[in-house]
């Protein structure tokens, strides 16, 4: 038996594993943190330009979220993200998520429409970066990302179809579709956890 081929194959697989598990994931983590730093800097500049007050509750909450995301991004994983929903169902998790939801909703109500749009846009950017990081940081994440992409396409098609026929129940249906797998609740729970960690930073 020629062990050279076997050893070469094992070494090749080990190298691929190292590249994926170490170098690729290290790059993805650095990229996520860089993106979050840029978003935080943009938010700071917006406040410095007077677009929103440094003292506003919404600014403080979102900045704290960003600090928390940056600090614990190395602990982010697709598996943990999927487990977040279960944590929210527990009394302690439900209380934390509910309290955070109330705080951010109250803070947004105090803003002008332009300021509210600014904060919502920052939130969306953060969520997009985190979800992309989770999706491409594991094989399971890639598979689930593909499934979610297909579901998103179906949602778009259904939405356009409902608009065309003017169905009265469209709001409820679209709400159910857009919250596939409790995604919104998971993101809210992730925000609450990041906010809690950011406060401790």
Determine contact, residues 144/151, Cβ cutoff 8 Å.
no
The predicted pLDDT at position 133 comes to 85
> Does the pLDDT at position 5 exceed 90?
no
At 172, the pLDDT band (50, 70, 90 cuts) reads very low
The predicted pLDDT at position 83 comes to 66
At 175, the pLDDT band (50, 70, 90 cuts) reads very low
Helix 183-200 / helix 91-109 crossing angle, nearest 10 deg: 80
Calpha distance 161→123 (Å, rounded): 29
Calpha distance 75→16 (Å, rounded): 23
Least confident of 18-22, 123-127, 177-181: 177-181
Cβ of 79: how many Cβ atoms within 10 Å?
10
Q: Which two tokens stand for residue 63?
A: 């900045």
Cβ of 34: how many Cβ atoms within 10 Å?
12
Tens digit of each residue's pLDDT (9 = 90 or more) over 64-119: 999 988 888 888 777 677 666 666 667 776 777 778 888 888 999 999 999 999 99
Residue with tokens 């997009």: 128
Q: What is the mean pLDDT of the chain?
A: 78
Long-range Cβ contact pairs of 173-178 (< 8 A, separation 24 or more): 177/151
- The stretch 168-184 carries a mean pLDDT of 47
Task: Quote the DSSP letter at residue 2.
Answer: -
The predicted pLDDT at position 56 comes to 92
pTM above 0.95, yes or no: no
Residue with tokens 């065309």: 164
Within 19-112, residue ranges assigned H as helices are 25-48, 57-72, 78-89, 91-109
At 198, the pLDDT band (50, 70, 90 cuts) reads low
Calpha distance 95→93 (Å, rounded): 5
């Amino acid at each position: 038996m020629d062990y050279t081929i076997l050893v070469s194959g094992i070494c090749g697989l080990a190298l691929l594993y190292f590249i994926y598990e170490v170098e690729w994931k290290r790059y993805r983590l650095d990229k996520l943190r860089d993106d979050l730093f840029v978003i935080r800097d943009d938010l700071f500049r917006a406040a410095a330009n007077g677009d929103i007050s440094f003292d506003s509750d919404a600014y403080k909450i979102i900045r704290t979220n960003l600090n928390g995301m940056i600090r614990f991004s190395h602990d982010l994983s697709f598996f943990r993200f999927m487990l977040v929903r279960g944590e929210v169902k527990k009394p302690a998790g439900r209380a934390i998520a509910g309290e955070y939801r109330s705080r951010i909703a109250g803070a947004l109500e105090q803003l002008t429409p332009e300021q509210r749009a600014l904060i919502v846009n920052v939130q969306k950017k953060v969520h997009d970066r985190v979800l992309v990081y989770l999706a491409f940081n594991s094989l399971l994440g890639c598979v689930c990302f593909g499934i979610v992409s297909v579901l998103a396409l179906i949602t778009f098609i259904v939405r356009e179809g409902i608009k065309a026929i003017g169905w009265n129940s469209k709001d409820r249906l679209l709400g159910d579709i857009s919250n596939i797998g409790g995604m919104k609740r998971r993101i809210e729970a992730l925000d609450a956890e990041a906010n809690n960690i950011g406060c401790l930073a």
